[in-house]
Amino acid sequence: MDQQGIIEKKWSIPTNISEKGKYIPGEIASSVRTTIEPQKLQSVAGIGIGVPGPISPDGKTVVQAVNLDWTQMPLKEILENELGIEVTLLNDANAAALGEMWKGAAQGKADLLFVTLGTGVGGGIVLNGEVLNGCHSSGGEIGHIPVRSEENRLCGCGGRNCLETFASANGLMLSMKKALLLKEESWPELTPPIIFEKAAENHQLAKEVLAEFTDILGQALAGIMNTIDVEEVVIGGGLSEAGDQLLKPLQEKMEQYVFPQIKEHFTVEKALLGNEAGIYGAVYASLNEPK
């Protein structure tokens, strides 16, 4: 990608997670060397990497990436030694937040909350154009905000009743399953798009489940807004494909719960960059890394 954000070449390689993912850094390096001609590689100013997990405060190590089976992986050092190019590491949700700020739904804004609603709930907070990373590289882990509930839902983090156990695609389907079971009703297939479709067709139970979903999510996001007071909330991830059917009621719920000074002074937008958000954000972080 050039410094203006134009992608010049894009490719992918399989993710080799054998032996605790130890081959991944070397395979990234060799794929870069074989894909980009040597002369061009010498002119590369930096490499930005979005990683599915927290990065150490010094920006050098991947603390943990569960999907890759990494713990304390010194990714920056390995790739810099292999390629001789400066590497910038950041969490993938934070990368996506920066990407949406630079080239996506929040272009021109410096303060935003980025939320991904997929199998879990991820987040990135950008204040004054910079990612809020926190002391333990866990700033923006909004999926683990506790929810008060009589239910007892186990989260992948080991906690109970985290936001993502209710407000993710998996959480939504679990809520719908429970509601259908109570009413002794069954559907041939159950997916988030089907739930939104049924609600649009005025199916009472689907409407009730979605209303509860947006209420729980709206409360959590309003709490964050009351803490950081940003101008835009960007919603990405698979559930954002529901568009206004999700975003409008969500904004209404947030308006209900936010502090009066914030009310009607923020927007809720659908993310624009999809899976490329993290690519743009990683490059942006690399370009803006203090040299």
In this prediction, residue 291 carries a pLDDT of: 65
Cα(first)–Cα(last) distance of the chain, in Å?
A: 19
| CA distances from residue 6 to 10, 106, 211, 279 in whole angstroms, order as listed | 11, 18, 40, 11
The phi and psi torsions of 162 (rounded to 5 degrees) equal -70, 155
Residue 270 bridge partners (DSSP): 235
Q: What percent of the chain has pLDDT over 90?
A: 91
257 or 52: which carries more pLDDT confidence? 257
pTM over 0.95: no
In this prediction, residue 290 carries a pLDDT of: 78
Mean pLDDT of 176-192: 96
Predicted confidence band of residue 289 (pLDDT cuts 50, 70, 90): confident
In this prediction, residue 57 carries a pLDDT of: 87
Q: What percent of the chain has pLDDT over 70?
A: 100
The per-residue pLDDT for range 142-157, each reduced to its tens digit, is 999 999 999 999 998 8
Mean pLDDT of 182-207: 96
Contacts with 73 (C-beta within 8 Å, 6 or more apart), sequence order: 21, 25, 61, 62, 65
**Domains in the chain, start-ordered, CATH in brackets?**
18-94+277-287 (3.30.420.40), 109-271 (3.30.420.40)
The per-residue pLDDT for range 238-285, each reduced to its tens digit, is 999 999 999 999 999 999 999 999 999 999 999 999 989 999 999 999
Q: List the one residue out of 208, 272, 241, 229 whose CA is nearest residue 112.
A: 229
The per-residue pLDDT for range 227-241, each reduced to its tens digit, is 999 999 999 999 999
Predicted confidence band of residue 67 (pLDDT cuts 50, 70, 90): confident
Contacts with 61 (C-beta within 8 Å, 6 or more apart), sequence order: 55, 72, 73, 74, 75, 76
Strand pairing of 62-65 and 70-73? antiparallel
Please answer whether residues 98 and 112 qualify as being in contact, where contact means their C-beta atoms are separated by less than 8 angstroms. Answer: no
Please answer whether residues 275 and 254 qualify as being in contact, where contact means their C-beta atoms are separated by less than 8 angstroms. Answer: no
Asked whether the predicted pLDDT for residue 81 surpasses 90, the reply is: yes
Please answer whether residues 87 and 47 qualify as being in contact, where contact means their C-beta atoms are separated by less than 8 angstroms. Answer: yes
Please answer whether residues 283 and 48 qualify as being in contact, where contact means their C-beta atoms are separated by less than 8 angstroms. Answer: yes
Residue 123 bridge partners (DSSP): 115
Predicted confidence band of residue 109 (pLDDT cuts 50, 70, 90): very high
Mean pLDDT of 72-77: 97
Mean pLDDT of 86-97: 94
Report the chain's mean pLDDT, rounded to a whole number.
95
